[in-house]
Structure 1
Amino acid sequence: MHLRSMNDDLERGTGPRRFTYKELDFATRNFSSDRKLGQGGFRAVYKGYFFDLDLSVAVKKISRGSRQGKKEYVTEVKVTSQLRHRNLVMLLGWCHDKGEFLLVYEFMPNGSLDSHLFGKRAPLPWSVIAIGLASSVLYLHEEWERCVVHRDIKSSNVMLDSSFNVKLGDFGLTKLMDHEIGPQTTVVAGTLGYLAPEYISTGKSSKESDVYSFGVVALEIALGRKAVEVMSDKDGEKGLIEWVWDHYGRGELFEAMDGNLQKNFDEKQVECLMIVGLWSIHPDVNIRPSIKQVIQVLNFKAGLPNLPPKRPVATYHTPPPLVSSVGVSITTSLQDGR
């Protein structure tokens, strides 16, 4: 879509508004370093303030000359401007002016989930946070007019408002599909540690690959450990997922959980979150739950699944030639919470 055409479409609507570069420059004090909330890849995020509206915002600035950044900017504006849900970060406006590309979002005073998980862990309603994230994914997958595959669900893209309500953000990698259409072949994109194995192998993103990413975040919440962390066990070093699955198989799940959670969770909630996390990352996509099933179990409206004591080995059909040359676009998280 051409930028001029996109401008015309958006300006006719009642959603996000167009800002001038001058307005955003003023709101962020010339994008000063003390206003920077985080940086990663080809974008930086700044805190802005509009005095006339008495409104704090987060301004995402795309690096000049970044083709991938511009592509994700267009996707983010097109998709996010149409979405409305209590658990999604709201796009307030956009700007492409003087060769700059910027997005304006509602400001999240409590930053990103990862800053709470892996920093000084304060008492938070972790179960409510997990259910809020699942609710945002349910809306994207099943409740909007088209199916939205996010493709980059991770703890640094889960934002927390002033009341610690979950808001999923960063829609630059999303794919729109009709509800009846199956997985689509794409360039593999996302963040290491959160990518479903079948997505890496076949290049096909799907609702199931989003559920896998959700499962990784659920385990990060319960364990207080990063998805890419290498763990030491009696059998030697292993990845986080294999490590926690082995604890499940030995009936030792509570030994794997974050000790700081014990004050804020009851045992039933912790067990539920961890088993749902493992279920969601099951290598077999046919066994992996839908996000609706995840919510039912987290709300104790359905029973826990019976999982094998050892993590199953993933097997996939050899992809056709079209997929074998799929490129890889892996992003890294912002260094600080936004």
Structure 2
Amino acid sequence: MNGDLELYDVTIIGGGPAGLYTAFYSGMRDLKTKLIEAQDRLGGRMLIYPEKMIWDVGGVTPTRGEKLLEQLIQQAKTFDPTILLGQQIVGYERQEDGTFILTSSTGERHLTRTVILTIGYGVRKLAKLEIEGADRYEVSNLHYTVQELEVFRGKRVLISGGGDSAVDWANELEPIAASVAIVHRREAFGGHERNVARMKASSVKVRTPYTVQALHSDGGETIDRVSIVHAETGEMETVDVDAVIVNHGMKSEFGPIREWGLNIGEWNVTVGERMATNIPGIFAAGDFVTHGSKVGLIAGAFTDGVLALNSAKLYMDPEAPRMAYVSSHNERFKEKNRQLGVVEED
């Protein structure tokens, strides 16, 4: 029986930037909204780099990840959506009336008219350094994220990795660390071109194509030296260090959602230009999706969310406007403007 389940217009699965902004926009469209996040905190991938400077969100000056996330969460709560944490959605069932019942891994059930998947790359776990015994240094000076830059002030830092985060951390730490070296298994870095150029023009010691071969400790409690090996010649070098940062990406799993019948590849689900999946009533947005006009920025995730929500609205009501009125003309903001002390002209 479904009588004990409260019916929602939209259920958003995933509480990263795409899901948070979609929840806000859903409120703009006056829809009854639920957001469900598998982790115990909202933020998705942004939780990995709270100290990272975010430069590429329109109208927002350079802001640390933790601050931008705080603002995204506050914005998402504007219209009081229901937000549930610690529930991984694993199954769905379409009812005779077209609604969906979603089931979590802990047995909770959720009734909804439409679904928007903003699950990023699924359940994500940091890819650890594959060296025997490396885990014992995780309590001392082996790091997989940079939570506080000050921890590395005046230290000799070695970074292993070549993606956006590794390059960004090198640039952030270069002014405050005693030295920064970055080791990457390929010649080319995967970070944004401007940031890579900045790194190479700085005092950061770039070692490519090298990989970390071994960790050495004088006292057994901390890493004091790192052996790196040239990927082509096998030449070995030893680097003295006070701290090692590893950024080898994430291991991601979509889990049971792969069994839903969605058109999922290795990393993404394929959607149409209006973010519709191949299952009617289920839409998707953010890092989880791929489409012909995909923009791999946070700003692109916001746009995906708007398109997915508009499609969900039209799925429920084909006669509805194709998009929400802008905030300056949207009735839902009038009372909120009054609460802010804003006097509007008639």
Give TM class, smaller chain. Answer: under 0.3
Higher helix share: 1
Higher strand share: 2
TM-score (norm 2): 0.22
The structure that has the greater radius of gyration is: 2
